[in-house]
């Protein structure tokens, strides 16, 4: 654990949940302000008093907290019976046994007080054999992120950030306590799947490797987090260099460090080398068959080449092992949609919203599916419920754009369509990597001329939309092809220019090498 501080607004010595900062506890992420404890892909809301006592015990960092100190800090000094305190402690012990997976415990010191300890006591006589490394105890089974993977696609955006991984740590290595605490906080922050907590996780991992430069797991976690950042074409080369540097540092310390090995195997790029990438990931999965980031990267590969049934199979295998990962639900609903299985896609998306109503990517995923599956009216009805909107100023800006798009597609009003068209082309001018979203919009209004012009700019760097694009396309270009094979692109498939495009960018080479029919021709 690390010290817990408040922002100075709370009464000193009292636990005021509104002013307590989030903290890590044995691989869990504890947010006193929302009373949430999160880990292993799930979260739990605690009663206010239970969270207050948990914070008070965590503040002590393993030291004993007396009964009187608990009453003063959590009950404002009021008279409290033993039954009330015992009930609260029982709830905390239930959290430790449940979502905490027995990674911490509350110990009662008779006639003295209570203390919170991380880790499990080894059975008598077997301490040496039962002892796990600190990095194993710290690492939760899963985490998730919505950030864009370098060289990846909409699928591979979560391949590096979406899951955690249990692994064997370097034998006999003990990280410095400060580094271990920071590493744990990074893992817990990353598990939230939000932009702010992903950035915070990056900070924790950077601090961890500074606190202990010999901590291989922290270097591996940093490599994976770096690879999960969104990048433009202008920053991609430097970003790749930083990712590889962190991963190689981890492997120099521990040649088996799985995050580092996995990151180097799947950071891509996929574009233009789909067959080679497929073979690399399949080989890695042969050596590490349970590594979820590689499974998701393989699903991304199959989405990019239009092998939707293979993508669906890989994602279902991954979800069977990790059923509580919301991003797997998102990816599966998109793959089902890509395969033309609209009813299954709809069911998956609706179930995802029911299970994870405030997960950041779930709302946007469902809005996209409703808007571009011939249901813009349903998209507007869905968006009318502001209570389930993703939080954050940036998210709200994007939400309003999504709503304006659906509204224009419902009304077909020329002014509304012109407004959305202008907004879509503006973001393309700002970053050529926004072309896939623009192509979806122009497909919905049947404008194939503009669609092909956008594709020329995206893949060939020619035409009126190529002005601010990086030229020529570099070997690390984070381009995607899956959107070409969505149902929204069917309007292009019978045009002779589409076959010419897929041949020029190499998709036909993959289909021939893999001995599969071009998906747009077999539909």
What per-residue confidence (pLDDT) applies to 142? 32
Is residue 105 a part of any domain in this protein?
Answer: yes
Flag whether 170 is in a domain.
Answer: no
pLDDT at res. 133: 33
Q: 44 lies in a domain?
A: yes
pLDDT of residue 372: 94
- Omega before 276 within 30 of 0, i.e. cis: no
60: in domain: yes
Q: State the Cα–Cα distance between residues 391 and 119, nearest whole angstrom.
A: 34
Report CA Rg, the chain.
Answer: 25
Strands (E) in 5-131, as ranges, are: 23-25, 28-31, 36-39, 42-45, 104-109, 113-118
Q: For residue 512, is it within any domain?
A: no
Number of domain units in the chain: 1
pLDDT at 334: 96
Q: Which domain holds residue 57?
A: 17-118
pLDDT at 136: 34
Q: Is residue 79 part of a domain?
A: yes
The three state secondary structure string of 466-510 is CCCCCCCCCCCCCCCCHHHHCHHHHHHHCCHHHHHHHHHCCHHHH
CATH number at residue 78: 1.10.10.10
Q: What local confidence, expressed as pLDDT, does residue 139 receive?
A: 34
Q: C-alpha distances in angstroms, 113 versus 2, 59, 75, 124?
A: 21, 14, 16, 25
As separate numbers, helices (DSSP H) first and strands (DSSP E) second, the chain gives 25, 6
Q: Do 417 and 436 touch, CB atoms closer than 8 A?
A: no
Residues 467, 472, 477, 483, Cα dihedral to 10°: 60
Residue 49 domain flag: yes
pLDDT less than 50: residues of the chain: 1-11, 121-153, 156-169
78 dihedral zone (left: phi>0; alpha: psi -120 to 50; beta): beta
**Rounded distance between C-alpha atoms, residue 507 and residue 514, angstroms:** 11
Does residue 460 belong to any structural domain of this protein? no
């Amino acid at each position: 654990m690390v010290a817990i501080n408040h922002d100075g607004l709370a009464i000193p010595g009292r636990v005021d949940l509104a002013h307590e900062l989030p903290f890590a506890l044995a691989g869990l992420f504890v947010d006193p302000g929302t009373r949430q404890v999160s880990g292993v892909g799930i979260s739990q809301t605690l009663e206010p008093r239970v969270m207050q006592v948990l914070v008070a015990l965590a503040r002590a960092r393993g030291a004993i907290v007396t009964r009187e100190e608990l009453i003063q800090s959590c009950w404002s000094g009021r008279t409290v019976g033993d039954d009330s305190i015992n009930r609260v402690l029982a709830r905390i012990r239930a959290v430790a046994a449940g979502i905490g997976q027995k990674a911490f415990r509350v110990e009662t010191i008779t006639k003295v007080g209570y203390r919170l300890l991380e880790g499990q006591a080894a059975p008598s006589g077997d301490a040496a054999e039962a002892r796990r490394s600190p990095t194993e105890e710290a690492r939760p089974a899963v985490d998730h992120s919505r950030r864009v993977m370098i060289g990846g696609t909409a699928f591979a955006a979560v391949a590096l950030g979406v899951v955690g991984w249990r692994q064997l740590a370097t034998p006999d290595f003990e990280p410095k306590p400060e580094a271990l605490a920071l590493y744990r906080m990074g893992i817990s922050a990353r598990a939230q799947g939000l932009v702010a907590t992903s950035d915070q996780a990056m900070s924790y991992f950077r601090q961890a490797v500074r606190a202990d430069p010999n901590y291989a797991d922290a270097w591996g976690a940093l490599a994976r987090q770096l690879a999960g950042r969104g990048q433009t074409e202008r920053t991609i080369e430097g970003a790749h260099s930083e990712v590889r540097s962190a991963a190689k540092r981890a492997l120099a310390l521990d040649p088996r460090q799985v995050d580092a090995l996995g990151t180097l195997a799947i950071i891509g790029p996929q574009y233009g080398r789909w067959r080679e990438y497929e073979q690399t990931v399949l080989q890695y999965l042969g050596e590490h068959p349970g590594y979820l980031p590689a499974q998701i990267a393989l699903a991304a590969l199959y989405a990019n080449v239009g092998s939707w049934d293979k993508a669906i199979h890989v994602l279902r295998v991954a979800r069977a092992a990790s059923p509580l990962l919301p991003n797997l639900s998102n990816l599966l609903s998109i793959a089902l949609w890509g395969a033309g299985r609209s009813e299954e896609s709809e069911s998956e998306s609706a179930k995802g919203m029911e299970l994870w109503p405030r997960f950041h990517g779930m709302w946007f995923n469902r809005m996209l599916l409703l808007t571009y599956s011939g249901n813009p009216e349903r998209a507007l009805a869905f968006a009318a419920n502001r209570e389930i909107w993703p939080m954050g100023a940036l998210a709200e800006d994007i939400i309003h754009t999504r709503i304006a798009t659906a509204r224009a597609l419902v009304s077909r009003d020329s002014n509304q369509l012109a407004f959305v068209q202008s907004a879509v082309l503006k973001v393309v001018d700002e970053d050529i990597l926004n072309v896939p979203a623009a192509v979806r919009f122009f497909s919905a209004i049947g404008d194939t001329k503009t669609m092909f012009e956008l594709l020329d700019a995206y893949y060939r760097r020619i035409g009126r939309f190529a002005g601010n694009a990086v030229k020529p396309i570099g070997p690390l270009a984070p381009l995607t092809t899956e959107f070409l094979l969505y149902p929204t692109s069917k309007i292009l498939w019978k045009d002779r220019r589409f076959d010419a495009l897929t041949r020029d960018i190499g998709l036909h080479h993959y289909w021939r090498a893999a001995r599969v029919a071009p998906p747009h021709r077999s539909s």
